[in-house]
Amino acid sequence: MKAIILAAGQGIRLGTNFPKPLCKITKGKTILDFQVEKLSKKIGFDNILITVGYKKELIMRRFPGLIFVYNHRFQKTKSAKSLLLALKKINDDVICLEGDVYFDEKILDMLLKTKYSCYLVDTKKCGREESKYNLKNGFIWQLSKSNKHPLGEALGIYIIRKKDLDNFRNELESLSENERQDKAIENLTTRNKLKLLPVYVGNYFCQEIDFKSDLKNVRKYVLRKSH
């Protein structure tokens, strides 16, 4: 099992002048610190790849020894192309996640024990910015931000099994530069070329950090959990 953390973007909505994954959750640990720590326990430090772009040296200095994939066109492309660059280096099951997601460690156990490719989801009401999903025959279908009647939010962490990698890479290759990786998943699932099992987050905590209010929410959760 490999892991790809997408960390090439800037995170403009948070108003930082450094890569968003380096936002501090606690005094000494960033979003990315928590991600790398939890993934390392499950699959090993050497199996983690991080895509970098904006101010890449800040991330690379913080995690010497990790594998980095540089998207030199990060200013002109969305996450699909960064992910594709990393996937070209992998021929194994892979867990993919955005570099701005904080999650409970137990979530990884739920995802890793599935036999199918899978996506972490919840069943809550979604806002306009969230990626949303429906189901068809028990599998993910219609995964997009524009889904009008969703069952809930797709939470930005998913596994693509080795048998599905070629189709996934080919679909990412076909996307335009301004499309996200979820578009490739939407295309494959609606054409029945990818069986993507929903894994429900349940009572575990998972938060994508897009806005300052999200960051505040995560900090409160981590502080409460530590007491």
Under 8 Å between Cβ of 98 and 144: no
Give residue 63's pLDDT.
Answer: 95
Burial class (CB in 10 A: 0-12, 13-18, 19+), 61: exposed
Give residue 102's pLDDT.
Answer: 97
How large is the average pLDDT for residues 129-136? 89
pTM of the model: 0.94
pLDDT over threshold 90, residue 202: yes
How large is the average pLDDT for residues 207-226? 92
Specify the amino acid at residue 155: L
How large is the average pLDDT for residues 190-214? 94
pLDDT over threshold 90, residue 46: yes
pLDDT over threshold 90, residue 119: yes
Give the integer Cα–Cα distance in Å for 114 and 223: 31
Percentages helix, strand, coil for the chain, rounded to the nearest 5?
35, 25, 40
How large is the average pLDDT for residues 178-206? 94
pLDDT over threshold 80, residue 12: no
Give residue 204's pLDDT.
Answer: 97
Give residue 73's pLDDT.
Answer: 87
Residue with tokens 């996937």, as numbered in its chain:
87
Question: Which segment, 1-15, 82-96, 121-135, is predicted with the most confidence on average?
Answer: 82-96
Give residue 117's pLDDT.
Answer: 98
- The tally of CA atoms less than 13 A away on the side-chain side of residue 210 is 8
How many angstroms from the chain centroid is the CA of residue 193?
21
More confident residue, 76 or 59: 59
How large is the average pLDDT for residues 99-107? 97
Q: Reduced to 3 states, what is the DSSP secondary structure of residue 27?
A: coil
Give residue 75's pLDDT.
Answer: 83
How large is the average pLDDT for residues 15-39? 93
Burial class (CB in 10 A: 0-12, 13-18, 19+), 42: middle
Token reading at 201:
């987050």
Contacts of 14 (CB under 8 A, 6+ apart): 20, 23, 209, 210, 211, 212, 215
pLDDT over threshold 80, residue 128: no
Give the integer Cα–Cα distance in Å for 103 and 92: 23
Domains by residue range for the chain, with CATH = 2-225 (3.90.550.10)
Give residue 179's pLDDT.
Answer: 87
Specify the amino acid at residue 116: Y
Under 8 Å between Cβ of 85 and 73: no
E-strand ranges in 25-131 read 48-52, 67-70, 94-98, 101-103, 117-121
